[in-house]
Amino acid sequence: MADVTHDAVIEQLRTVNDPELHKDLVTLNMIKDVKIDNGAVHVHVELTTPACPLKDQIGRDVENAVKRVNGVDSVTLEWSAQVRSSREAGTTQLPNVKNVIAVGAGKGGVGKSTVSVLLAYGLHRMGAKVGLMDADVYGPSIPTMTNVEGAKPTVRDNLMVPIDAGGVKIMSIGFMVERDKALIWRGPMVHGVVKQFLEQVDWGELDYLIVDLPPGTGDVPLTLAQSIPMTGSVIVCTPQDIALLDARRAVKMYEQLNVGCLGIIENMSYYLCPKCGHRDELFDHGGARNASDELSVPFLGEIPLNATIRVNSDKGAPEKTLAETEDYVRSAIEKVVTATAGQVSIKSQLQVMAPTLSIE
């Protein structure tokens, strides 16, 4: 029997591409170690996100490739994950935050804040370090939805310390005003709050900072885009025509601000009766996927209209939604989370591959 060599294994691993990044695992530096014991080969693969949507496929491809090496009897895989930054090296704003994801909507009432929370806690549940910034200044609902309403951030080294809510770092204007007080602010005051949350909060090291924006195309998204390099935007909409019209406007706005759209999520996509199993598409269905195709942006998935999501949002228990809800609801949310993480990984790789100009 021929001896299995390290070079032979690596050569086969060069034939395995990441299905989203379209480069081989060796070139992407995702193969961290190869150990050989006679015919037994151990391969350590480092994913670009713990929420990798294609981990199983990558695993099968690696195993099949290594088994093509003459003399290999068995292949075992070790997994780890290291989220990569989509932001330029040397960025002074939030230097320890690898990716900033703005969650927006063209209109209110489509569940944008609910999706922001589910994204944040879904990524955290999969092993990422996550922060959630409530930039919906006029209607801050994140403290309620994460069960930290009434909390007061402390100050350390002249920086505000976010509230820890189940492992996710939270910052919201809701921590600083009375619950029933209406914020009657003009644009410059909103601009100041967003800048403060970016510059005067100790976010620490984060893989993802999810930013819940107010609906529409006004001051806050403009301020955010002008203040900090963002990974991209995620647009939330419901299937009906008027919501899709506004979602298209939101995508176009971000394009004008040079912020790429990571994709569109269809919320309240359908309702499945828990008693009889009948499916009812209350607000129509599939419109967001069609809009994604028309606008040439990714479709990140659909989340059903479901009472468990509503109840746990009111109770501030997003972890229960992800852990204890019906299988089809949990699966739908996980698909949205992993699809979003996959698009961030693609953006990160494009940043690494971006050409640089040198002046001699």
Task: Provide the pLDDT for residue 147.
Answer: 95
- State which fold the 6-81 domain adopts: GMP Synthetase; Chain A, domain 3 (3.30.300)
- Residue whose structure tokens are 């984060």: 206
Residues forming CATH 3.40.50.300 domain(s) in the chain: 100-353
356 — pLDDT class (breaks 50, 70, 90):
very low
Q: Is residue 309 over pLDDT 70?
A: yes
pTM above 0.75, yes or no: yes
Question: Is the CA virtual torsion 226, 231, 237, 241 positive or negative?
Answer: positive
Residues forming CATH 3.30.300.130 domain(s) in the chain: 6-81
pLDDT digits (tens, 9 = 90+) for 199-233: 899 999 999 999 998 877 667 777 777 777 789 99
Superfamily of structural domain 100-353? P-loop containing nucleotide triphosphate hydrolases (3.40.50.300)
- Mean pLDDT over each residue of the chain, to the nearest integer: 88
**Helix axis angle, 112-125 to 327-353, nearest 10°:** 80
